[in-house]
Structure 1
Amino acid sequence: MKNRISKSCASQAEQAPGEEPKGACSGLCSGLYELHLVTDSPATTGAEVNITASLVASDNGSLVLPTDPHSYRFHWVHSPLMLKGKTEEAFRSTIRAVGNVPGDFPISVWVTSADCQMCQPVARSRLVLSITENIVGKLVITQNATLPWPSTYFTKTLLKTSFLLHDPSNFFKTASFLYSWDFGDGTQMVTEDSTVYYNRSIMGTFTVKLKVVAEWEQAALAAGKGIVQKTGHFSGSLKLQETLRGIQVMGPTEIQAFQEMTVTLNFLGSPPLTMCWRIKSECLPLEEHECRPVSVASTVYNVTTIIMDPGDYCFSIRAENVISRTHQYHRVQVWPSRIQPAVFAFPCATIITMMLAFIMYMTLRNTTQQKDMVENPEPPTEAKCCQMCCVPFLLETPSEYLEVVRENHGLLPPLYKSVKTYTV
């Protein structure tokens, strides 16, 4: 393998020392190997950064690396970073560099055959190294109970908030740290420990902010020793959700048929919620198709309904938020109604009113007729005849009857006729 590569690269033009080889690779040296770069950046200014280049065979299923690990040589371009060290291993090279100013710096590396350093590279690669003035690390928030959504946690459950320093070169080994925490709800604290525990009972979304200050002594050119300080600012977003621990149902347990019933539901969990309910004969969990979901924006919801038929019923409720679901039941006994429903009471009241009006009409009519009989002493003949015929049946004694007749007809005619006598 080494001979074939050297032969194919022998005709390449010479490159100036320190320059990255240019030109197209031809023959067997083209695309046979790859360079994989790994770094522990980003890093703070003054700290060492490790960059490792590994030569691997291209993924063609048949090519393997040569048995001699010294068949190839690695070449690095890292300026303006200061090189602190270089380590060569089998098909691997690692350099340690330091950046004294912040910025993004390109790092290039290529591999040539060991006996032909001026030949076309077998493989090449590059990356960009990030150097910053600040402390490098990250804020990590964990909880014993985990949720499937990122940055989502439970309320009333202890939160562990930690700062993880990124310092692979042990640059801050003599530094002392101070941590200033702001939990976004007015709670602030300053600690020397990189881990704090916090419990928040209010649901919602808030941001945890952290300021890290590191100080240490360092040799100075004039005064001998000086205090060096570096800072870093970090933040993390939290969304606290409260699981549905249950539903409190407040309502009557006994009602009458056709009576309106109002039930108040108190949800022990975080809105927004999706709720559905149904009145069933048995207390069983509601299926998806049994009721229509209703969106609830608060933790209190009122349900009003009317049950027509007497019997034992179960008020079944299902509610869920983004993290949990719960069911609740409320038994209701419905007794027969002692008051007829309005749909039947109205016709009955109408009939009774009409009957009362008819009775009053007849009463007023009879009163008016009696008054006319007293004011008009000589009614029509038919009336007189009727009165003469009916009075004997109304009066108790004959004397009363005679008195009435006298009043109506004056003097009675003689009960006998005069008989005239003629003398012949």
Structure 2
Amino acid sequence: MALAVWSRLGRILWLACLLPLAPARVAAGLFELSLTTDGPSTTGAEATISASLLTRDNSSLALPAKAHPYRFHWIHTPLTLIGKTEEDLSSTIRLVNSAPGEFPVSVWVTAADCWMCQPVARGFVVLPVTEFLVGNLVVTQNTSLPWPSSYLTKTILKVSFLLHDPSNFFKTASFLYSWDFGDGTQMVTEDSVVYYNYSIIGTFTVKLKVVAEWEQAEPDAVKGVMQKTGDFSASLRLQETLRGIQVLGPTLIQTFQKLTVTLNFLGSPPLTVCWRLKPECLPLEEGECHPVTVDSTEYNLTHIFRDPGDYCFSIRAENAISKTHQYHRVQVWPSSIQPAVFAFPCATLITVMLACIMYMTLRNATQQKDMVENPEPPSGVRCCCQMCCGPFLLETPSEYLEIVRENHGLLPPLYKSVKTYTV
């Protein structure tokens, strides 16, 4: 144990003695490494990693008179080194591996004439290696939309597959592409670019399966067919542009009445709707009103006017790809004109009701007079009386006359009474 401690202490003292021999700026720690890689890489293909020595303050690095003042030291196990290139302030290595995984690669820089000195700078990067094809699925359209992954319906889409192969590993391979556009349409092509037109709105996922085949010579001089595959996808949001806003509602209303205006949007939701009442029909500016999110193509506005005058609803709507404006004029009248509007119908109704009451009164008086002068009413009148009077109607004329006498005591009797005397 003591021997190991003394050995380590001796090594530290040795490095301390060599430290003054290093360049003056080394001790200041003003250097850093910038590492770049063209990964991820597929198994069997070459990957490139580059390291460049820079100053931390981005100032120009003063080189000594002799070339290659610094040396780059790489650790890349278990990756196989294919080649290495060094310049004054940079170094590049080419690596390959037959197994997938994520492999760390580190590098440090020392002075060229003092490799035992303290490192000028250190760097570290992870190189991903996969057994599948590496690439990207790119979707473009001949429209300039500021929203990512949003596209127009009924407009041609260009879907392209871009293979990532910086070392030209697949230069002799043949490819087969199987497309699925997410709306029930599938196709197989030998071209990496297709054109498609979505006719409906919604969110769709384009899926692509790529198969690459090529011949490769085996160690026993027999050619074998090699194959690699890859699955790729891209999410698309198909929208319709807002072609306009249809406004349904009255244009004339009185104060203190509730106004309801229906907005029909000719476009695809979700929408952001903003509206405001103005004395004139002018476009809305940013921040002039509070936006409301609408998840359908219809929306109702309600408002109660308290002051008469001419107003204009200024409406703005926008979805993920477009925006539009619309206006609706409303004329508001004072509510005091409401009694004058209904005065004539009310007066007419009251007149009709009074006429009916007078008619019924005169008719009853005429019927009673006819009953007194003509004890035997006509069959029609009798029938009417039977229906109206019901069980109170007396069948015999004598009973009817008695009632008439009782009700009309001032009428003269129809016969003279005979007095009888007993002797």
Q: Shared fold (TM-score greater than 0.5)?
A: yes
Secondary structure of 1:29's aligned partner = coil
Q: State how far apart, in whole Å, the 1-side matches of 2:77 and 2:346 are.
A: 100
Is 1:11 aligned to residue 14 of structure 2?
yes
- Equivalent residue runs for 1:219-230 within 5 Å: 219-222=217-220, 224-230=222-228
Q: State how far apart, in whole Å, the 1-side matches of 2:144 and 2:221 are.
A: 53
Instruction: Give the Å deviation of 1:210.
Output: 0.8
Q: State how far apart, in whole Å, the 2-side matches of 1:300 and 1:316 are.
A: 17
Residue pair 2:151, 2:321 contacting (<8 A) in 1 also: no
Q: State how far apart, in whole Å, the 1-side matches of 2:407 and 2:210 are.
A: 125
Instruction: Give the Å deviation of 1:279.
Output: 9.9
Secondary structure of 2:352's aligned partner = helix
- Equivalent residue runs for 1:37-56 within 5 Å: 37-56=35-54
Residue pair 1:57, 1:64 contacting (<8 A) in 2 also: no
Structure 1 residue aligned with 2:196: 198
Structure 1 residue aligned with 2:106: 108
Instruction: Give the Å deviation of 1:200.
Output: 0.7
Residue pair 2:150, 2:320 contacting (<8 A) in 1 also: no
Give the paired residue count.
367
Letter in 2 for 1:47: A
Structure 2 residue aligned with 1:243: 241
**Structure 1 unaligned runs (5+)?**
1-8, 15-24, 334-339, 385-403, 410-424
- 1:363-399 Cα distance to aligned partner (Å, 9 max, x none): 313532553469549976xx57xxxxxxxxxxxxxxx
Residue pair 1:185, 1:206 contacting (<8 A) in 2 also: yes
Structure 2 residue aligned with 1:146: 144
Letter in 2 for 1:360: M
Q: State how far apart, in whole Å, the 1-side matches of 2:68 and 2:131 are.
A: 39
Q: State how far apart, in whole Å, the 2-side matches of 1:101 and 1:243 are.
A: 49
Q: State how far apart, in whole Å, the 2-side matches of 1:377 and 1:50 are.
A: 132
Residue pair 2:102, 2:129 contacting (<8 A) in 1 also: yes
Q: State how far apart, in whole Å, the 2-side matches of 1:11 and 1:289 are.
A: 70
Structure 2 residue aligned with 1:76: 74
- Using a 3 Å threshold, how does the CA distance of structure 1 residues 269 and 362 change in structure 2: closer, same or farther? same
Secondary structure of 2:15's aligned partner = coil
Q: State how far apart, in whole Å, the 2-side matches of 1:408 and 1:281 are.
A: 90
Q: 2:92 aligns with which of 94, 109, 126?
A: 94
Instruction: Give the Å deviation of 1:12.
Output: 0.8
Structure 2 residue aligned with 1:218: 216
- 1:54-92 Cα distance to aligned partner (Å, 9 max, x none): 111221758644454411111111111111111111211
- Equivalent residue runs for 1:120-131 within 5 Å: 120-131=118-129
- Using a 3 Å threshold, how does the CA distance of structure 1 residues 219 and 342 change in structure 2: closer, same or farther? farther
- 1:130-155 Cα distance to aligned partner (Å, 9 max, x none): 11101111111111213222211121
Structure 2 residue aligned with 1:345: 345
- Using a 3 Å threshold, how does the CA distance of structure 1 residues 150 and 69 change in structure 2: closer, same or farther? farther
Structure 2 residue aligned with 1:85: 83
- Equivalent residue runs for 1:262-273 within 5 Å: 266-273=264-271
Structure 2 residue aligned with 1:371: 371
Structure 2 residue aligned with 1:135: 133
Letter in 2 for 1:29: V
Letter in 2 for 1:357: I
**Structure 2 unaligned runs (5+)?**
1-11, 332-339, 374-400, 417-423
Structure 2 residue aligned with 1:414: none
- 1:185-218 Cα distance to aligned partner (Å, 9 max, x none): 1111111111111111211111111111111000
- 1:230-256 Cα distance to aligned partner (Å, 9 max, x none): 111111111111111224568999x99
Residue pair 1:78, 1:108 contacting (<8 A) in 2 also: yes
- Using a 3 Å threshold, how does the CA distance of structure 1 residues 344 and 106 change in structure 2: closer, same or farther? farther
Q: State how far apart, in whole Å, the 2-side matches of 1:359 and 1:278 are.
A: 58
Q: State how far apart, in whole Å, the 1-side matches of 2:366 and 2:284 are.
A: 69
- Identity, in percent, stands at 62
- Equivalent residue runs for 1:249-398 within 5 Å: 266-274=264-272, 296-299=294-297, 318-328=316-326, 345=345, 348-350=348-350, 352-369=352-369, 371-372=371-372, 375-376=404-405
Structure 1 residue aligned with 2:231: 233
Secondary structure of 1:367's aligned partner = helix
58-67 or 142-151, which moves further after superposition?
58-67
Q: 1:29 aligns with which of 22, 26, 29?
A: 26
Q: 1:178 aligns with which of 168, 173, 176?
A: 176
Q: State how far apart, in whole Å, the 1-side matches of 2:407 and 2:145 are.
A: 108
Q: State how far apart, in whole Å, the 2-side matches of 1:55 and 1:76 are.
A: 14
- Using a 3 Å threshold, how does the CA distance of structure 1 residues 293 and 408 change in structure 2: closer, same or farther? farther
Secondary structure of 2:211's aligned partner = strand
Give the CA RMSD over aligned residues: 4.8
Q: State how far apart, in whole Å, the 1-side matches of 2:291 and 2:358 are.
A: 56
Residue pair 2:312, 2:330 contacting (<8 A) in 1 also: yes
Q: State how far apart, in whole Å, the 2-side matches of 1:357 and 1:290 are.
A: 63
Q: State how far apart, in whole Å, the 1-side matches of 2:291 and 2:351 are.
A: 46
Q: State how far apart, in whole Å, the 1-side matches of 2:145 and 2:58 are.
A: 42
Is 1:166 aligned to residue 175 of structure 2?
no
